[in-house]
Structure 1
Amino acid sequence: MSRIGKKAVAIPNGVTITIEGQSVTVKGPKGQLAWTVADEIEVRQEGQELVLSKRVETTRAQAMWGLSRTLVNNMVTGVTAGYEQALELVGVGYRAAMKGQALSMQLGFSHDVDIPPPAGITFATPKQTEIRISGIDKQLVGETAARIRRIRPPEPYKGKGVRYAGESVRRKEGKKK
């Protein structure tokens, strides 16, 4: 039995939810998100809560129940508070700066790496070695952070590279004479 699927999604003030068939649209102060729920799941609004339930008792319905509830809850959180991911640049000469809306990074390559922001994502560089990615779609924020990290992942000998804020890199011992 899904413990997550049983919980109702609380709808805060200022958020409107529209349910048309299997499509759920969430509008809030920061924007609008939409998602189509699987056919096995039924979505209904009861007062200031959104309740999800299974229509059939199958393994797939069981799996989609908790997933659907979490994704709808993430949409509600995204349009009210938003999501943010922080990255750190570690290494001599590694730095990031804003070039208009795009993010420009020097990561030890012979050229600068410029990344335009996807729709709905904003970059910020409070320090030269820190990048903040923010938006209302949790999946898109995380995917954008992962793509930036993939350009120069942290290496195990000196720890140089792009890493998530607070990420610890397992270090290896170098060569010995």
Structure 2
Amino acid sequence: MVKALHIAEKIVVPEGVTVEVEGSKVTVKGPKGTVSRDFSHARGVFIRLEDGAVIVETYVADRERKALVGSVAAHIRNMITGVTKGYRYKLKIIFSHFPISVVVDEKNRVVRIRNFMGEKSDRIAKIHGNVKVKVSGEDIVVEGVDIEEVGLTAASIERATRVTDRDRRVFMDGIYIYEKGEAS
């Protein structure tokens, strides 16, 4: 097995974005907001700033450490994209008989799904982190700067209407993610 002596990835920081590195904690600030992440789980991977770029590197790298360097660099790129453009997931409300109504409860940071398959009680999905959820007609739009929080919120809304005891080909009622990507 061959080990590389030095593996590094360079991420250029665009104008209007500031990156702070304190040990293994990275904070990215931009026009849309701030995202922080702790990479202390990535043992043997070092993160530093150099000439307007973030350098993610490791020494005496085996296959796992090379992959870890790529993963940490991808997370930092996602953080930069989040604070410059943001992330948006779109979900579609689909029903055949019982009209589903969706209400965003900002006070409790939850999404309430009413009258799903004729049920009397609400189904509840949690809104994670600093994410905005908007309902317009048959669409739900989830937006934020942290891709993980946006994805978790959209997935929890989709999971809240999951049906396991019926045939999905016949009973297609639910809320489904149909588009995800950058907000701008």
TM-score in terms of structure 1 length: 0.79
CA 1:160–1:166 in structure 2 vs 1: closer, same or farther (change >3 Å)?
farther
Instruction: Please state how far the C-alpha of 1:6 moved relative to its aligned partner.
Output: 5.8
Specify the code of the residue in structure 2 equivalent to 1:142: G
Structure with more strand by fraction: 2
Instruction: Please state how far the C-alpha of 1:51 moved relative to its aligned partner.
Output: 2.2
Instruction: Please state how far the C-alpha of 1:48 moved relative to its aligned partner.
Output: 2.8
CA contact (8 A) 1:8 1:52 kept: yes
Return the structure number with greater relative CO, CA threshold 8 A, min gap 6. 2
CA 1:100–1:66 in structure 2 vs 1: closer, same or farther (change >3 Å)?
closer
CA 1:43–1:116 in structure 2 vs 1: closer, same or farther (change >3 Å)?
closer
Instruction: Please state how far the C-alpha of 1:99 moved relative to its aligned partner.
Output: 4.4
CA contact (8 A) 2:103 2:111 kept: yes
Instruction: Please state how far the C-alpha of 1:73 moved relative to its aligned partner.
Output: 0.7
Residue of structure 1 in register with 2:157 after alignment? 148
CA contact (8 A) 2:128 2:152 kept: no
CA distance in 2, matches of 1:166, 1:23: 31
CA 1:136–1:88 in structure 2 vs 1: closer, same or farther (change >3 Å)?
same
CA contact (8 A) 1:90 1:161 kept: yes
- 1:56-95 residue pairs with structure 2 within 5 A? 56-92=60-96, 93-95=99-101
Deviates more, 1:25-34 or 1:41-50: 41-50
CA distance in 2, matches of 1:143, 1:117: 8
Instruction: Please state how far the C-alpha of 1:7 moved relative to its aligned partner.
Output: 5.0
1:133 alignment partner, SS class: strand
- 1:161-176 residue pairs with structure 2 within 5 A? 161-165=174-178
CA contact (8 A) 1:121 1:134 kept: yes
Specify the code of the residue in structure 2 equivalent to 1:58: D
CA distance in 2, matches of 1:39, 1:100: 38
Question: Across the two proteins, how many residue pairs are aligned to each other?
Answer: 163
CA contact (8 A) 1:86 1:165 kept: yes
Unaligned runs of 5+ in 2: none
Question: 1:113 is matched with which residue: 123, 144, 162?
Answer: 123
Residue of structure 1 in register with 2:25 after alignment? 23
| Residue 19 (structure 2) pairs with residue 12 (structure 1) | no
Instruction: Please state how far the C-alpha of 1:46 moved relative to its aligned partner.
Output: 2.8
- 1:112-131 residue pairs with structure 2 within 5 A? 112-115=122-125, 117-127=127-137, 129-131=138-140
Specify the code of the residue in structure 1 equivalent to 2:14: P
Deviates more, 1:66-75 or 1:91-100: 91-100
TM-score in terms of structure 2 length: 0.76
Specify the code of the residue in structure 2 equivalent to 1:105: I
| Residue 111 (structure 2) pairs with residue 103 (structure 1) | yes
1:63 alignment partner, SS class: helix
CA contact (8 A) 1:40 1:56 kept: no
1:45 alignment partner, SS class: strand
CA contact (8 A) 1:22 1:39 kept: no
1:149 alignment partner, SS class: helix
CA contact (8 A) 1:96 1:130 kept: no
Alignment identity in percent? Answer: 25
